[in-house]
Amino acid sequence: MGKAQQPAEPDLGRFSDPALVVLTCLADGPKHGYAILQESESLGFPLSLGTLYGALNRLERLRLIEAEASVDRRRPYRLTDSGVGHLRSRLAALNRVVRYGSRKLEGAR
């Protein structure tokens, strides 16, 4: 009997971190590129223009986000259901690393 296979997480390669920042910025509702840039700066992980649109393009092709109709020159993006799931699993994984690392640090003192 083979093991039940878990659904594969989308591979975002070296765009994994910018993608996570973009997904996090979109977690509370649709935003356009400029708003994502500003929020990423306030978050402490500033994205540059090329990186932002590279991440948006990958996320859109993986159907983790989708574009809404353009307003003026700006196009808002929103998380899809699979985008919400992906963000949740990434944040949970990061949380595990944070807790594990913190425990080890405290144990070493």
Partner 1 sequence: MKLLLWLYPGWWRRRYGAEALDILESRPVTPSVFWNVAIGAVDAWLNQGMPPSSAGGTNERESEGGYLVTGNRKRNKRVASVLARVGLMVLVGAVVFVEGYRTIQGHKDGAFGPINPLVVSPFVVIPIATAALGLWVLLTGRRLRDWPRWPFEGRAFRLAGAYCLVGSLLVVALAVTRNVGFAFLLYALLALALAATTQVVRIRRPGI
Output b/e per residue, 36-62; b: 16+ Cβ within 10 A: bbebbeeeeeebeeebbebbbebbeeb
Near partner 1 by CB under 8 A, which window of 16-24, 42-50, 84-92, 95-103? 42-50
Q: Contact, 43 vs 25, CB < 8 A?
A: yes
Near partner 1 by CB under 8 A, which window of 20-28, 46-54, 85-93, 100-108? 46-54
Nearest-angstrom CA–CA distance, 76 and 28: 13
Q: Quick one: CA torsion of 97, 103, 106, 109, rounded to 10 degrees?
A: -90
48 is a site residue for partner 1 (CB under 8 A): yes
| For partner 1, the closer CB: 75 or 90 | 75
26 is a site residue for partner 1 (CB under 8 A): no
| For partner 1, the closer CB: 72 or 106 | 72
Contacts with partner 1, residue ranges (CB under 8 A) = 32-34, 37, 48-51, 53-54, 56-58, 60-61, 63, 66-70, 73-75, 77
